Chain A
Amino acid sequence: AQRVTQPEKLLSVFKGAPVELKCNYSYSGSPELFWYVQYSRQRLQLLLRHISRESIKGFTADLNKGETSFHLKKPFAQEEDSAMYYCALGSDSSNTGKLIFGQGTTLQVKP
């Protein structure tokens, strides 16, 4: 079965500290992984897509097929990074775009 697990409901760090938001997935095919972010009072928006292999707002994520993980990392957290982060799994087949989301991790960056 396809599944996304985000083991931490809340991650609290101080400004300037490194951040790692964990995501593990279960999928038998070749996955497409995304990170979505929701800032306070804003809609869900795409942060990263694994196939683009880019850094957005200082965040990076590497797909590790051996460990079935797609952890989100940032070397120095900023207060404006405080938000809810969702890891999502898409299917590589038929380009249907169905997404399976994890339960989300709230990132709290303290001053």
Chain B
Amino acid sequence: DAGVTQSPTHLIKTRGQQVTLRCSPKSGHDTVSWYQQALGQGPQFIFQYYEEEERQRGNFPDRFSGHQFPNYSSELNVNALLLGDSALYLCASSFSNIQYFGAGTRLSVL
């Protein structure tokens, strides 16, 4: 089992652009959560997907959206990128309230 995999590992975008980040959960896990981790901070919850529906959402604007596919993989989309969106984006999959994290996607917005 490869664990939680995320792609790409690094990404550079400019302000106003749109970005899509991808996550494959650990085998057998049906729930995917996304977190944003700014430099020097702890991860902040963006939202969680279960059975292809957004189950819970943190305090993030509508520019942040997501999707979960029937195979439980997930995408995070961010529209109209701002400089402040530069961060490490972490995906975590879970089965029984324990979250397993991917290595993250480092997004830089210039």
Interface residues of chain A, those whose CB is within 8 Å of chain B, are 4, 6, 32, 36, 43-46, 49, 86, 88, 90, 95-104
Contacts and interface: CB of A to CB of B under 8 A. Distances in A.
B100 to A, nearest CB: 7
Interface string B48-79: 10000001101000000000000000000000
B24 interface: no
Contacts of B102: 43
Nearest to B40: A103
18 contacts: A4-B42, A6-B42, A36-B101, A43-B101, A44-B101, A45-B101, A46-B100, A96-B48, A97-B33, A97-B98, A98-B56, A99-B45, A101-B42, A101-B43, A101-B44, A103-B42, A104-B41, A104-B42
Contacts, number: 56
A46 B100 CA distance: 7
B100 A100 contact: no
B7 interface: no
Contacts of B55: 96
